[in-house]
Amino acid sequence: MAEQFDVVIIGAGPAGYVAAIRAAQLGLKTACIDDFKGKDGKPALGGACLNVGCIPSKALLDSSKQFWNLGHSFEVHGISAKDAKIDVATMVGRKDKIVKQFTGGIAMLFKQNKVTPYFGTGKLLKDRQVEVTAADGSKQTLAAINVIIATGSVPIQLPFAKFDGKHIVDNAGALDFNETPKRLGVIGAGVIGLELGSVWKRLGSDVTIIEALPDFLAAADADIAKTAAREFAKQGLRIELGAKLSKAEVKGNEVHLTYTGKDGEKQLVVDKLLVAVGRRAYTDGVLGDGTGVKTDERGRVVVDEHNWTGIEGIWAVGDCVRGPMLAHKGSEEGVAVAEIIAGKDGHVNLDTVPWVIYTEPEIAWVGKTEAQCKADNIPYKTGSFPFAAIGRAVAMNEPAGFVKVIAHAETDRILGVHLIGACVSELVAECVVAMEFKGSSEDLARIVHAHPTLSEAVHEAALSVDKRAIHKAN
């Protein structure tokens, strides 16, 4: 007899494990299946985010930032730190410890909340049965009233630059180099390319990023992308736009690249190549015959606005469905589905999902860009304010960047906020709240912001929408 659950979740990434905890909190008998193994070969909950994504990359970004600052910004504070060295093994070891702490933390939360974990590969069968195949090949079947598919995404592989885990790597490989590569090639100037390219650049790599699109950071607001390009160039990150890789050959300990750029065909030799050209929804082998669950042309599970697949009791959340591939979006979908299953009103507003790129300066935004407002024929006005005129930013020696608020020209409702600068990953939260509460630029402008803080840039940008910023000419 198959063990019976109220909810069985396939995948324990940030979408799946959060759904499991919320479902269990709501009194539902919950199981969560995952087959991810950590570096020690043991089960590791948390999916790509905790094991090879958000958390480990932030650990390395922080270590590399400290090292970079030693050589580049300590001097202005009157601090000299000559001959600073970085021990890459210690840095990677610290990252691994953090990952273990957090993956272990989820196992503990499962225990506290009485979520039953299954270590193995989950496959949805007909009639809401789920087959679990353990690492030794043994199988068992679970029966559920509801199944949530939360199988995430995997890096896209280029046929002419296949991952070998040693010279040509994905994000996971680029988090585990045992020494700083002298020359690092990166394919794709997206979120991963910029974040991990920054890590190794700060540690001394000669980094070249090859990006197929002619525009830099096409998803961001154009003004933000322009400032980002200027700041990254100052740091020595070489970014070639409109460049298409055609060949990557491993020769000895080198990777020989052939690509076509603006000036024709070019060659580049690097020691490591990171391919970061996006991720694809992972649903391979997850859907058994006759389940009725549909996937789209990109392999994503088709769902409605409530993450329902259209098949009774079958839901899907996170990277394996439409919408941005962001951990926090997946987590909120997990919560919403658990609540809907429990008879509550779960909902996720995809229009106010914040984006963050953890480079230096950081980049963050919520809502529409100016280009999107134009494309949608929405009349708008903007106000912006530079961190160079914010006392706290200058005191921190972090004057780069600005905040831009876009508001409806007639109603003043905030349509988008775009930030580049120190700690904007935190500042964007205020803007999300304002948008979620359908706030206007005047609302933001009338709120008291602590002085001296970086948040004053948000305040002044909002004031600037109506040309009443205090600390700049309007």
Q: Which residues contribute to the site for ligand NAD (CB under 6 A)?
A: 158, 187-193, 195, 210-213, 244-245, 276-279, 325-326, 356-358
Assess whether 451 carries a catalytic annotation: yes
In angstroms, what is the minimal distance from the CB of 318 to ligand NAD?
12
Q: Which of 72, 418, 449, 451 is catalytic?
A: 451
Residue closest to ligand NAD when measured from CB atoms: 190
Nearest to ligand NAD of 193, 416 (CB atom): 193
Q: Which is nearer to ligand NAD, 271 or 362 (CB)?
A: 362
Residue 378 is encoded by which pair of tokens? Answer: 């929405």
With respect to ligand NAD, which residue has the nearer C-beta, 18 or 463?
18
Q: How far is the CB of 362 from ligand NAD (least distance, A)?
A: 9
Which residue's CB is nearer to ligand NAD, number 150 or number 191? 191
- Tell me how long the chain is: 474
Q: Which is nearer to ligand NAD, 141 or 260 (CB)?
A: 260
Give the nearest distance from C-beta 204 to ligand NAD in angstroms. 22
Q: CB of residue 276 vs ligand NAD: minimum separation in angstroms?
A: 4
CA 159, chain centre distance (Å): 24
Toward ligand NAD, which CB reaches closer, 107 or 172? 172
Residue type (1 letter), 80: S
Question: Is 357 or 373 the residue whose CB approaches ligand NAD more closely?
Answer: 357
Please list, in sequence order, all residues whose beta carbon lies within 8 angstroms of the beta carbon of residue 398, skipping any fewer than 6 positions away: 361, 387, 421, 422
Residue 425 Cβ vs ligand NAD, minimum distance, rounded to whole Å: 8
Least distance from ligand NAD to the Cβ atom of residue 357, Å: 5
Tokens at 242, concatenated: 């409109």
Q: How far apart are CB 153 and ligand NAD at their closest, in Å?
A: 7
Give catalytic residue positions.
Answer: 451
